[in-house]
């Protein structure tokens, strides 16, 4: 059985069409069909059911599809390890970040690394913490930076850290004149906050409840940019890590003020990798770079493992 046959089969699985797969692979449909026939002969069973509506995987095809994707990713990892003999002149790293806040934290670290090593390419996905961990385990990602992620036996946490949330307000907002704000101060002003699907929002709710107050934001959104825009307009204040609004603070548009007694306004962040997989050289160097960046910059390290 040749690797080419697995590559062709994997593309058919992705597209669910022999013709579409052939076009994406830039090969003749007959050549692709021949490789699928070779696979079916090798395994001694049909892998695809063809009909006028397209193709459907058989039970054996479903089983091979799961294993083939993982095998090809591992082969690609081996290829990158071989490429590492050339140093950091080339390579590709897949990164998963859970949420826009984490993406904002990673952006300057990636920009700095890319400036030093312009030959490296990055695939960056902003997903949930659960999806990020699953991507590590399935070898779809090399590195994951997550908020509120549960421990997983298939992952290893390189760094545990805390992100501190401050009150963010426009420079002409009444709370901007204070050096710090209390939870009661926040409750007296219109708020723009993320929805309850975000772990940070759950922490905010718990903090207000501990103070005997009800958190009732005027605006609820999953968009970091929307939170910024609403705050810039002065119609509301928000709670965000100060690093997400550094540019606006430098321009004199926003201010960041600590929340007095805001211990609960710290969210746990994990920098993690798969526990049983050796990273390509480029990914290893990037992991070290992100680790140092988190320690030196925005997050508060808790424990390295």
CATH number (domain holding residue 120): 3.40.190.10
Domain hosting residue 116, numbered range: 87-162+267-304
Of all residues in the chain, what percent carry a pLDDT higher than 70? 91
Domain boundary among 80, 104, 129: 80
At 152-184, the pLDDT tens digits run: 999 999 998 888 899 999 999 999 999 999 999
| Same domain for 276 and 146 | yes
At 227-278, the pLDDT tens digits run: 999 999 999 999 998 888 988 999 999 999 999 865 557 888 899 999 888 8
At 19-64, the pLDDT tens digits run: 888 888 888 888 888 888 888 888 888 888 877 777 888 898 888 8
Domain boundary among 34, 64, 80: 80
pLDDT at 190: 96
Q: Which residues of 220-233 are buried (b: 16+ CB within 10 A; e: fewer)?
A: ebeebeebbebbbe
In 48-116, beta strands by DSSP E: 48-51, 54-57, 91-98
Please say if the pLDDT value at position 290 is more than 60: yes
Of 184, 126, 158, 137, give the one whose Cα is nearest residue 272.
Answer: 158
- Please state, in angstroms and rounded to a whole number, the distance separating the CA atoms of residues 145 and 166: 21
- Name the pLDDT band for 299 (thresholds 50, 70, 90): very low
Quick one: 85 exposed, middle or buried, by C-beta within 10 A (0-12, 13-18, 19+)?
A: exposed
Contact criterion met (CB below 8 Å) for 242 and 101: no
Token pair 């992620």: residue? 149
- Please state, in angstroms and rounded to a whole number, the distance separating the CA atoms of residues 268 and 238: 19
CATH number (domain holding residue 201): 3.40.190.290
For the segment 197-215, the average pLDDT, to the nearest whole number, is 86
- Please give the mean pLDDT across all residues of the chain: 85
- Please state, in angstroms and rounded to a whole number, the distance separating the CA atoms of residues 61 and 40: 9
């Amino acid at each position: 059985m040749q690797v080419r046959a697995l590559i062709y089969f994997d593309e058919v699985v992705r597209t669910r069409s022999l013709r579409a797969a052939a076009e994406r692979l830039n090969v003749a449909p007959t050549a692709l069909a021949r490789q699928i026939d070779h696979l079916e002969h090798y395994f001694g069973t049909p892998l695809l059911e063809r009909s006028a509506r397209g193709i459907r995987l058989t039970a054996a095809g479903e089983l091979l599809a799961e294993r083939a994707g993982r095998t090809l990713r591992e082969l690609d990892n081996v290829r990158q390890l071989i490429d590492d003999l050339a140093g950091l002149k080339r390579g590709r790293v897949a990164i998963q970040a859970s949420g826009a806040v984490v993406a904002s934290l990673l952006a300057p670290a990636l920009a700095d690394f890319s400036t030093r090593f312009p030959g490296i390419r990055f695939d960056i996905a902003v997903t949930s913490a659960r999806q990020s961990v699953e991507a590590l385990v399935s070898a779809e990602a090399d590195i994951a930076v997550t908020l509120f992620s549960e421990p997983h036996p298939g992952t290893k946490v390189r760094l545990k850290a805390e992100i501190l949330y401050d009150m963010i307000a426009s420079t002409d907002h009444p709370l901007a004149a204070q050096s710090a704000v209390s939870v009661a101060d926040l409750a007296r002003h219109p708020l723009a906050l993320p929805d309850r699907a975000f772990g940070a929002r759950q922490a905010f709710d718990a903090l207000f409840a501990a103070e005997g107050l009800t958190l009732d934001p005027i605006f609820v959104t999953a968009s970091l940019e929307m939170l910024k825009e609403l705050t810039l307009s002065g119609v509301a204040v928000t709670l965000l890590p100060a690093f997400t609004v550094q540019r606006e603070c430098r321009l004199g548009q926003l201010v960041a003020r600590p929340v007095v007694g805001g211990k609960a306004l710290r969210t746990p962040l994990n920098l993690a990798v798969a526990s049983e997989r050796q990273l390509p050289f480029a990914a290893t160097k990037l992991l070290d770079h992100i680790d140092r960046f988190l320690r030196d910059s925005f997050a508060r390290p808790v424990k390295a493992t």
